[in-house]
Amino acid sequence: MAKAKEPKETAGKGMEEKTEARLRELFEKMPYPARVLLFTDKEKNEPFNQAARQVLQILRQVSPKVQIEEFDLRGEEARKWNVGSSPALLFDPEHYRIRWLGPPIGEETRTLIIALQMLGYRSAGLSDESRKILKKIDSPRHLKVFVSPTCPYCPQQAVNGFNAAIERPDLISLEIIDIQANPDLARKYGAQSVPQVFADEKLIAMGAQPEELFMSSLEKMEEQRIFIPETDAAEVETDLVIVGGGPAGLTAGIYAARSGLRSVIVEKGILGGQVATTPVVENYPGLTQVGGKALVDIMLEHALQYANIFPGEEVTEIRPGDPFLVLTNRRRFKTRALLLATGARYRNLGAPGEARLSGRGVSYCSTCDGPLFTGKKVIIVGGGNSAVTEALNLKNINVDATLVHRRDGLRAQEHLLKSLKANNIPVLLNTEVQEIRGDQEVREVILTNNKTGERKTVPVNGVFVAIGYDPEVELAKKLGVELTPDGYIKHDGRHRTNVQGIYAAGDVEGGYKQIVIAAGKGSEAALTIFEDLINPYWKKPA
Ligand SMILES: Cc1cc2nc3c(=O)[nH]c(=O)nc-3n(C[C@H](O)[C@H](O)[C@H](O)COP(=O)(O)OP(=O)(O)OC[C@H]3O[C@@H](n4cnc5c(N)ncnc54)[C@H](O)[C@@H]3O)c2cc1C
């Protein structure tokens, strides 16, 4: 039997030869060395010290352009730079005021590699718009970006922070704070949901933001949701604009472009949609078990070969006509057809305390926030696949998790229910959350049994809400697209809506919500659009 070839490892543990060669090439081109000082105290956070040391050593072995020096936290150098926590990394402190409290591991290793390149070029890779915004800042700002190694959204904000601090070293200083290595700081700032960004102790952003929105939030010192460029937005002419970069949108991009249509995919949040936050996928054909993020990367790499992808752009307005005009927060598109693959978003519980304590113990993403609750007690509210998946994920990282569901039975798939039982996760049926309580963070929940009326107070540190999704139909409604009684986009069976030139695909159409189904719908919609556009009798929209 042929034996699979082991990937060659070279620079320390865990790096393949190809990756190392690519990194070496990138680092060697840098005109300046990327200098990082690591401060450790073996009495404090030793496992994190070792993790930080290991990742830095691996990168140092790749190229001499990466210069790492380690110092004792109790020594002279630590006093000189006023470093007080372990591990702490200082990035080229002669030029910048950037430090990282904790180890740059997991998702954050990507941030570290990008940061080293910024140091090596002594320059941030910012867009002209972002540069213009940063130029307007005329007083010092100190940024704190809270991250965790398991959070897929965090590198985007951390890189934004580096960009700002490297572009304006005269005024902007930065601390990246790992919440696992610094739970006391996370508690102090109530940063229980990552990423969170503080500027001069004021919360200016929750969640990942496009670069310009991050810079605008920093400039205005409050969270910005829409970025309006000062100059006329650039214009892109295309045959098809796909709104949404989930499995439906990405697949539609591949199929449409392969049919010869110029296609663009516009995504306002994380590429991959809901899949990006799914811990493990076990039912995508051909892949026995794959991480959601890894699956997104595979799809994305494929889609990028065909379609132009515009991440971090929200479609805010669509003006019907010939062509349609599609406006985003960065530019406008002129297109012959439009595919709404806008998916679904999580549903709120509506219990008193939920909104106020959101990000302070109330969470909607166990992959991002789960590690903060290790060794703590939480409830997961819901009874479907999402709720059971979240419960299993939390249990897997040693969270004391209880599932709470208002009906008398769970609606999850059989294999998930089996895992739930095998993992001894308690389930409270016929139980509703009346209130979530706590001052700065979640302290307890009031639960009632809707059969017996029994009411009890349960002390918990967290509440994970997993009660389903609402279709994203705001754009559809504005366009006069007809909806089903359940609020999904109505179509003719071939993804055409009632508005000519506008199509729908994926979760936004209702039905089973699965990756392979969304992908299938995306491909079907693209083929319909192709047929309609090449059909000489196709009536153009008025
Ligand atoms: C926790 C969890 C676990 C799951 N596990 C599985 C599983 O194991 N197997 C499985 O098959 N399925 C699973 N699913 C379901 C699956 O992820 C969804 O069915 C699938 O992602 C739907 O794809 P979609 O492209 O239709 O929508 P989405 O994935 O929701 O993507 C839609 C995208 O459109 C973007 N968008 C919306 N409005 C705009 C706008 N105005 N401008 C720009 N972009 C916009 C959104 O940001 C989003 O990224 C899971 C879902 C969750 C939440």
Share of the chain above pLDDT 90, in %: 78
Ligand 1 centroid – CA 450 distance (Å): 32
Q: How confident is the model at residue 226 (pLDDT cuts 50, 70, 90)?
A: low
Q: How confident is the model at residue 6 (pLDDT cuts 50, 70, 90)?
A: very low
The pair phi, psi for residue 353, each rounded to 5°, is: 95, -20
Tokens of 268: 């306002």
The pLDDT of residue 17: 85
Ligand 1 neighbours (beta carbon < 6 A): 243-249, 266-269, 273-275, 278, 281, 283, 314-315, 341-344, 386, 389, 472, 475, 506-507, 513-516, 518
Helical (H) or strand (E) element with 114: helix 108-121
Residue among 515, 517, 523 to mutate when testing ligand 1 (max atoms within 8 A of CB): 515
- pLDDT (tens digit, 9 = 90+) per residue, 426-483? 999 999 999 999 999 999 999 999 999 999 999 999 999 999 878 999 999 999 999 9
Task: Find the catalytic residue in 41, 239, 369, 400.
Answer: 369
Q: Distance between CA atoms of 530 and 240, rounded to whole angstroms?
A: 9
Inter-residue contact 268 to 309 (CB < 8 Å): no
pLDDT at residue 130 greater than cutoff 60: yes
SS3 421: helix
- pLDDT (tens digit, 9 = 90+) per residue, 287-323? 998 988 889 989 988 998 899 888 888 999 999 888 9
Ligand 1 centroid – CA 519 distance (Å): 10
Ligand 1 centroid – CA 275 distance (Å): 6
Inter-residue contact 76 to 46 (CB < 8 Å): no
Q: Hunting for tokens 């951390």 — which residue is that?
A: 158
Ligand 1 centroid – CA 246 distance (Å): 5
pLDDT at residue 9 greater than cutoff 50: no
Instruction: Give the closest residue to 363 by CA, choosing from 153, 534, 535, 212.
Output: 153
pLDDT at residue 489 greater than cutoff 80: yes
**Helices 46-62 and 108-121, axial angle in degrees (round to 10):** 50
Residue among 153, 275, 481, 503 to mutate when testing ligand 1 (max atoms within 8 A of CB): 275
Ligand 1 centroid – CA 341 distance (Å): 9
Ligand 1 centroid – CA 254 distance (Å): 17
- The atom number, within ligand 1, closest to the CA of 249 reads 25
pLDDT at residue 377 greater than cutoff 90: yes
Tokens of 312: 């971090």
- pLDDT (tens digit, 9 = 90+) per residue, 380-437? 999 998 899 999 999 999 999 999 999 999 999 999 999 999 999 999 999 999 999 9
Q: Hunting for tokens 């902007």 — which residue is that?
A: 172
When mean pLDDT is compared across 12-16, 21-25, 249-253, the lowest value belongs to 12-16
Region of 405 please: left (phi>0), alpha (psi -120 to 50) or beta. Answer: beta
Q: What pairing do the DSSP bridges indicate for beta strands 400-404 and 196-199?
A: unpaired
Q: Distance between CA atoms of 339 and 502, rounded to whole angstroms?
A: 6
Inter-residue contact 92 to 34 (CB < 8 Å): yes
Ligand 1 centroid – CA 502 distance (Å): 20
The pLDDT of residue 540: 55
- The atom number, within ligand 1, closest to the CA of 283 reads 9
Q: Distance between CA atoms of 250 and 256, rounded to whole angstroms?
A: 10
Tokens of 11: 């620079």
Inter-residue contact 241 to 340 (CB < 8 Å): no
The pLDDT of residue 14: 60
Residue among 255, 265, 342 to mutate when testing ligand 1 (max atoms within 8 A of CB): 342
Inter-residue contact 474 to 340 (CB < 8 Å): no
Residue whose Cα lies nearest atom 26 of ligand 1: it is 506
- The atom number, within ligand 1, closest to the CA of 277 reads 1
- The atom number, within ligand 1, closest to the CA of 313 reads 43
Q: How confident is the model at residue 505 (pLDDT cuts 50, 70, 90)?
A: very high
Residue whose Cα lies nearest atom 51 of ligand 1: it is 274
Ligand 1 centroid – CA 249 distance (Å): 10
Q: For residues 193-220, give the mean pLDDT.
A: 94
- The atom number, within ligand 1, closest to the CA of 281 reads 8
pLDDT at residue 115 greater than cutoff 60: yes
DSSP state of 217: H
pLDDT at residue 75 greater than cutoff 80: yes
Q: Hunting for tokens 């601090």 — which residue is that?
A: 165
What mean pLDDT value characterizes the chain? 91
Residue whose Cα lies nearest atom 41 of ligand 1: it is 315
The pLDDT of residue 1: 41
Is 365 catalytic? The answer is yes
Instruction: Give the closest residue to 225 by CA, choosing from 134, 313, 355, 139.
Output: 313
- The atom number, within ligand 1, closest to the CA of 506 reads 26
Ligand 1 centroid – CA 432 distance (Å): 27
Residue whose Cα lies nearest atom 5 of ligand 1: it is 278
Residues contacting residue 131 through CB under 8 Å, at least 6 positions apart: 167
The residue ranking higher by pLDDT, 486 or 493, is: 493
Which residue type is seen at 202? Answer: K
Task: Find the catalytic residue in 92, 154, 368, 507.
Answer: 368
CA 40 to chain centre: 30
The pLDDT of residue 13: 54
Is 368 catalytic? The answer is yes
Task: Find the catalytic residue in 154, 239, 365, 400.
Answer: 365
Q: Distance between CA atoms of 187 and 5, rounded to whole angstroms?
A: 46
Burial of 380 (0-12, 13-18, 19+ CB in 10 A): buried
- The atom number, within ligand 1, closest to the CA of 386 reads 1
Residue whose Cα lies nearest atom 53 of ligand 1: it is 274
Q: For residues 505-509, give the mean pLDDT.
A: 97
